[in-house]
Structures are given as C-alpha cells and as structure tokens.
Amino acid sequence: MFKRLSEMFSRTPETATADHSEPDAQLIEQAAAHKEAMEQFMRLVTRQLGEEESERLTNNVLAQFDGSEVNEGWFALTNFLCEGLLGEDGQEHGKWLMIQVDWKASEEIDWQVNEMLETRGIDDQWEWDSDGRTVMDGLKVLSDWLPRHALSLLSVDFGQDAYHMLIVDNEIAARVIETGQRAGVDVRSFQDFAVSQGEG
C-alpha cells in the first residue's frame, strides 16, 4: 500500500495542454471564412456611402476580428459587426448606414431613414405620424414604402432590446442576407423578421 501511494505522489503531473493548445485547422478555416464573408457583407451594405467611407467602416468591422479567439462563436461575430458599425468609431451623421431604434422610440425612425435616403441622392422624404404608434408599425409602413425606390428593408438581430435595420437595393438584398448569414449574422428580410415576431 505504501509503495502504491509513493508511486502516486512521485508521478510527474501531466501537462495541461487543453487550455493552451493551438486551435485546430478546421476552426482556423472557419474563422477565415467568417471574416471573408463579413468583408463581402460590409462591402455590399456600404457601397452607397462611397469608396472611402465603405472602406473605413469595412475595416472598422474587420478589425474587431484581430486578437479574437477563433472559437468564440456566433455571439462574438454578431458583436464584431455591432461594435464596428455602432461603436465609437462607427457610422457617422451624413453617412448613416443602420437604423437603430429602441423598441419604444417610434419617433426616432424617420430622421434616420431620411438621412439614409439623402445619402443615396433620393429627394423623396419618408414621413409618418408616430404618435401612439409602435416601432413595428413604423417599420411596416417603411417596408411598404421603400419598393417605390427599388429598396428593401432588412433586419439585423444583435440580441438587444432594440430594432436594427438596413436599407439595401432590391437587386442585392438576397446576396446581403446570404453573405450576412455566412458571416454568422442573423440578417433577414423585414417580412421574415415580422413573422418571427408574430407580426406577419
């Protein structure tokens, strides 16, 4: 018995490699694919802002990947986009890209929409009476109005208690959704989003 105990305590501890091991090749490849898809997504949704601003915002989002763990998953990928677009160095007035509205702030939709339309060179102003109406009411009205300018409303879910929307050209809407999903972002048409909220 004492011999067995002595052998137990004299064993060299096994090196704990699990915490310090390099990520496997599959994870590295997956992270590279997410980053590539995120770049494609950003270049699509920022193209109306002009080359310089598109490049700045795209690089701002891609920089969020630097130094991150490759296995951080969906939540981190969503945060990379959120921080890159809506953080301190994100979108700027005069070059507005994403509608961001607290679920109770229905009066905050129209100025953001009209700034985005102005960026596209569209003089037509979008107006609606938000008094006593919900944000979802306003987004439904907007979604029905945008096709007159060959535009679509897309939802991006950041897992927050707020609405985040993109306005994109009809011709690229399907590609934006596809590349966004490949980048790990929950992006969908407004119609699909409304159904998911029981508003379809």
| pLDDT grade for 22, boundaries at 50, 70 and 90 | low
For residues 166 and 188, give the distance between their C-alpha atoms in angstroms, rounded to a whole number.
10
- For all residues of the chain together, what is the average pLDDT? 87
Tell me the pLDDT tens digit for each residue of 99-154: 999 999 999 999 999 999 999 999 999 999 999 999 999 999 999 999 999 999 99
Q: Please tell me the predicted confidence (pLDDT) of residue 2.
A: 37
Domain ranges of the chain: 25-196
Q: What 3-state DSSP class applies to 98? A: strand
The stretches of the chain forming alpha helices (DSSP H) are 2-10, 25-45, 51-62, 73-86, 109-119, 135-145, 170-182, 190-196
Tell me the pLDDT tens digit for each residue of 2-12: 344 344 434 44
For residues 67 and 176, give the distance between their C-alpha atoms in angstroms, rounded to a whole number.
26
For 116, the token pair is 């985005």
